[in-house]
Chain A
Amino acid sequence: MAVETLIDKFVQLHEADLTNLPAYSSKDFASDQDVRWCPGCGDYTILKQVQNAMPELGIAKKDIVFISGIGCSSRFPYYMDTFGMHSIHGRAPAIATGLKTSRPDLTVWIITGDGDSLSIGANHFTQLLRRNVNVNLLLFNNEIYGLTKGQYSPASPKGLVTKSTPYGSIDNPFNPLALSLGADGSFVARAMDRDPKHLKEMILRSHKHKGTSMLEIYQNCIVFNDGAFELFTDKKTRPQEAIYLEHGQPMVFGKENDKGVRLNGLVPEVVELGDSFSKDDIWVHDEQDATKAHLLSRFFEHPPNGEGVQFPRPFGVLYAVDRPCYDEGVVEQVQHAKDTQGEADLDALLRGGETWQVK
Chain B
Amino acid sequence: MSTQDQVREDVTIRFAGDSGDGMQLTGSLFTNTTALLGNDLRTLPEFPAEIRAPQGTVPGVSSFQLQFGSRQILTPGDECDALVVMNSAALKANLSLLKKGGTIIANTAGFDKKNLNLAKYPEGVNPLEDGSLDKYEVIEIDVTKLVKEALADMNLPYKDQERSKNMFVLGMLYWMYNRPMDSTIDFLNQKFGKKPEIAEANIKVLKAGYYYGETAEIFNSRVTVKQADLEPGTYRNITGNEALVLGLVAAARKSNLPLFLGTYPITPASDVLHGLAKHKKFGITTFQAEDEIAACASAIGASFGGSIGVTSSSGPGIALKGEAIGLAVMLELPLVVLNIQRAGPSTGMPTKTEQADLMQAVYGRNGESPLLVVAPKSPADCFEMAFEAVRISLEHMTPVIFLSDGYIANGSEPWKFPNSEDLKDIKVEFEGPRHSEEDGAFMPYKRDARLVRKWAIPGTQGIEHRVGGLEKEDVTGNVSYDPDNHQKMTDIRRDKRDLVAQNIPEQDIDQGNESGDILVLGWGGTYGAIRTVVHQLRKEGMDISHAHLRYINPFPKNMESLLKSFKKIIVPEINDGQLVRLIRSEFLIPAVPINKVKGRPFGVSELKQEILQLVEKQPA
Name A's B-contacting residues (CB within 8 A).
3, 5-7, 10, 13-14, 31, 33, 60-67, 70, 77-78, 80-88, 91, 93-103, 105-106, 123-124, 127, 330, 333-334, 336-338, 341-342, 344, 346-347, 349-359
Selected from A6, A63, A88, the residue in CB contact (under 8 A) with B458 is A63
* Residue of A whose beta carbon sits closest to that of B467: A85
Query: Shortest CB–CB separation between residue A137 and chain B, in angstroms?
Result: 14
Q: What secondary structure prevails in chain B residues at the interface with A?
A: mixed
Q: Could you say which residues of chain B place their CB within 8 Å of the CB of A336?
A: 280
Assembly CA distance A14 to B459 (angstroms): 7
Q: Does B132 contact A (CB under 8 A)?
A: no
> Which of B38, B302, B430 is the one whose CB lies under 8 Å from A6?
B430
Minimum Cβ distance to chain A for residue B187 (Å): 9
B525 within 8 A of A: no
Contacts of B331 in A (CB 8 A): 85
B280 adjacent to A333 (CB under 8 Å): yes
Which B residues lie within 8 Å of A64 (CB)? Answer: 458
A327 CB → nearest B CB, Å: 10
Does A5 lie within 8 Å of B258, measured CB to CB? yes
Residues of chain A within 8 A (CB-CB) of B282 are: 3, 344, 346, 349
A3-B282, A341-B281, A353-B236 given as contacts; is B227 within 8 A of A102 (CB)? Answer: no
Asked whether any CB of chain A lies closer than 8 Å to the CB of B145, the reply is: no
29 interchain pairs (CB within 8 A)?
A3-B283, A6-B257, A7-B257, A10-B306, A62-B459, A77-B466, A84-B467, A87-B469, A94-B294, A94-B298, A95-B300, A96-B301, A98-B297, A98-B301, A99-B305, A101-B285, A333-B280, A336-B280, A342-B281, A346-B250, A346-B282, A346-B420, A349-B246, A350-B417, A354-B32, A354-B183, A356-B38, A358-B38, A358-B234
What residue of chain A has the Cβ atom nearest to residue B311's Cβ? A98
| List of B residues within 8 angstroms of A62 by Cβ | 458-464
Convert B299-328 into 0s and 1s, putting 1 for each residue whose CB lies closer than 8 angstroms to a CB of A. 111111111010000000000000110010
A356's partner among B35, B281, B287, B419 (CB-CB below 8 A) is B35
Chain B residues, CB < 8 A from A86: 466-470
- A7-B257, A355-B236 are contacts. A88–B469 as well, Cβ < 8 Å? yes
Query: Is B232 part of the binding interface, using a Cβ–Cβ cutoff of 8 Å?
Result: yes
Number of A-B contacts (CB under 8 A): 231
Q: Is the CB of A124 within 8 A of B294?
A: yes
A31 CA / B248 CA spacing, docked (Å): 38
- Picked from B256, B323, B327, B419, the residue with its CB within 8 Å of the CB of A347 is B419
Q: Which residue of B lies closest to A68 (CB)?
A: B468
- With A and B bound together, what is the CA distance between A96 and B298 in angstroms? 7
Hey, what's the 0/1 contact readout for B251-276 against A, CB within 8 Å counting as 1?
Answer: 00100111010100000000000000
Q: Tell me the minimal C-beta distance from A304 to chain B in angstroms.
A: 36
> Is the CB of B125 closer than 8 A to any CB of chain A?
no
Complex CA distance for A336 and B465, rounded to whole angstroms: 34
Interface size of B in residues (CB-CB distance below 8 Å): 79
> Hey, which chain A residues are within 8 Å of B298, CB to CB?
94-95, 97-98, 101
B458–A351 CB distance below 8 A: no
**Chain B residues with CB under 8 A of A87:** 297, 300, 327, 468-469
Nearest A residue to B309, CB-CB: A98
Interface status of B438 (Cβ within 8 A of chain A): no
Chain B residues with CB under 8 Å of A101's CB are 260, 285, 287, 298, 301-302
Residues of A within 8 A of B183 (CB): 354
Q: Does B25 contact A (CB under 8 A)?
A: no
Closest to A123 in B: B290
Evaluate contact between B307 and A102: CB separation under 8 angstroms.
Answer: yes
Contacts of B37 in A (CB 8 A): 356
Chain B 448-487 against A: per-residue CB contact (8 Å), 1 yes, 0 no? Answer: 0000000001111111111111100000001100000000
**Cα distance, A330 to B302, chains bound together (Å):** 13
* B141 interface residue per 8 A CB criterion: no
Whether B285 lies near A85 (C-beta < 8 A) is no
Contact A98 B290 (CB under 8 A): no
B439 at the A interface (CB under 8 A): no
B281 touches A354 (CB 8 A): no
A355 with B235, Cβ < 8 A, contacts A7-B307, A88-B323, A99-B301 known: yes
Q: Evaluate contact between B230 and A358: CB separation under 8 angstroms.
A: yes
Contact of B280 among A10, A67, A127, A334 (CB under 8 A): A334
A33–B476 CA distance with the chains assembled, in angstroms: 11
Q: With A and B bound together, what is the CA distance between A85 and B236 in angstroms?
A: 44
| Distance, CA A86 to CA B466, complexed state (A) | 7
A88 x B297 contact (CB < 8 A): yes
Contact assessment for A330 and B323 in the assembled complex, using a CB-CB cutoff below 8 Å: no
Chain B residues contacting A3 (CB-CB under 8 Å) are 253, 281-283
Q: How close is A141's CB to chain B, nearest CB, in angstroms?
A: 22
Known: A351-B417, A356-B235, A357-B234. A103 touches B469 (CB 8 A): no
Q: Given A102-B302, A106-B459, is A91 in contact with B294 using a C-beta cutoff of 8 Å?
A: yes
Q: Is the CB of B459 within 8 A of A63?
A: yes
User: Bound complex: CA of A98 vs CA of B327, how far in Å?
Assistant: 15
B297 touches A91 (CB 8 A): yes
User: A31-B466, A356-B35 given as contacts; is B299 within 8 A of A98 (CB)?
Assistant: yes
Question: Would you call B543 an interface residue if the criterion is a C-beta within 8 Å of the partner chain's C-beta atoms?
Answer: no
**For residue B238, which residues in chain A have a CB less than 8 angstroms away from its CB?**
352
- Cα A62 to Cα B478 with chains together (Å): 19
How distant is A353 from chain B, measured CB to nearest CB, in Å?
7
**For residue B417, which residues in chain A have a CB less than 8 angstroms away from its CB?**
350-352, 355
Residues from chain A with Cβ under 8 Å of B287 in the complex: 97-98, 101, 330
Residues of A within 8 A of B283 (CB): 3, 5, 334, 338, 344
- In the complex, whether B291 has a CB less than 8 A from a CB of chain A is yes
Q: Nearest-CB distance from A202 to chain B (Å)? A: 24
Identity of the chain A residue whose Cβ is nearest the Cβ of B35 in the assembled complex: A356
Given known contacts A101-B287, A123-B294, A350-B417, is B465 in contact with A5 (CB within 8 Å)? no
In the bound complex, residues from chain A placing their C-beta under 8 Å from that of B418 are 350
Inter-chain CA distance A62–B442, complex, in Å, is 13
Whether the Cβ atoms of A350 and B246 lie closer than 8 Å is: yes
A124 touches which of B233, B290, B428, B468 (Cβ 8 Å) = B290
- Complex Cα–Cα for A7 and B283 (A): 10
Known pairs A81-B464, A106-B458, A354-B36. 13 more at Cβ < 8 A?
A63-B458, A77-B468, A80-B466, A87-B297, A97-B287, A97-B301, A99-B304, A124-B290, A127-B289, A350-B419, A355-B235, A356-B236, A358-B232
Task: Provide the bound-state CA to CA distance between A352 and B286, in Å.
Answer: 21
CB of A344 within 8 A of CB of B468, answer: no
- Whether B236 pairs with A95 at a CB distance below 8 angstroms is no
Q: Does B616 contact A (CB under 8 A)?
A: no
In the complex, B231 has a CB within 8 A of chain A: yes
**B293 touches A (CB below 8 Å):** yes
Q: Is the CB of B468 within 8 A of A82?
A: no
Q: Which residues of B contact A94 (CB under 8 A)?
A: 262, 289-290, 293-295, 297-298, 301
